[in-house]
A = this chain, B = another copy of it.
Amino acid sequence: MDDVESTADATLHASRALVAVIARSLASALEDVSLPQFRVLVLLSNNGPLRQGVVAEQLGVHASTFSRNAGRLVAGGWVRRLEDPDNGQAKRLELTDAGRALVDQVTEQRRAEIAAVVAAVPAAERPAVLAAFRAFAHAAGEPDPQDLQTLAM
């Protein structure tokens, strides 16, 4: 087994731990909203207020579908529908405080759990881990936002 393979192996193994963290952080939010709904919140969190049509297109769903989904989010108090001052026919969606808090809570939990793992790495090895993860991230390049959005990141 060459070093590409064994490194890929170790990466896959470590990725299981990361996935578990991500799944756990997601699970807490999914008690409040569905995954498609949470994706919307993340989208708004990353981009600020957006027109409904834009969100629908980003999510790859029909505008009518999204209109209803947005309605559910509004009803749940996670987002607000605002008139677009520049365009009377358009509506802008904006996170409410609750919506923002939900997203923040997930990312916070994610951060905290990963920090806990890192803290469990012997201090002497931490710089090496830091350098290695940076090298890996660099080699991977910027992830496709569309892919990240699938799992609401």
Contact = CB atoms under 8 A, between A and B. Distances in A.
A11 interface: yes
B140 A14 contact: yes
A129 B135 contact: yes
A87 B138 CA distance: 55
B130 A129 contact: no
A19 interface: yes
A144 interface: yes
A18 B125 CA distance: 22
A-side interface mostly: helix
Interface in A113-149: 114-115, 117-123, 125-137, 139-141, 143-144, 147-148
Interface of A: 3-8, 10-24, 26-27, 110-111, 114-115, 117-123, 125-137, 139-141, 143-144, 147-148, 150-151, 153
18 contacts: A3-B127, A3-B130, A7-B118, A8-B114, A13-B137, A14-B136, A14-B137, A16-B137, A19-B19, A19-B148, A19-B153, A20-B140, A20-B143, A118-B136, A122-B135, A129-B135, A131-B132, A132-B132
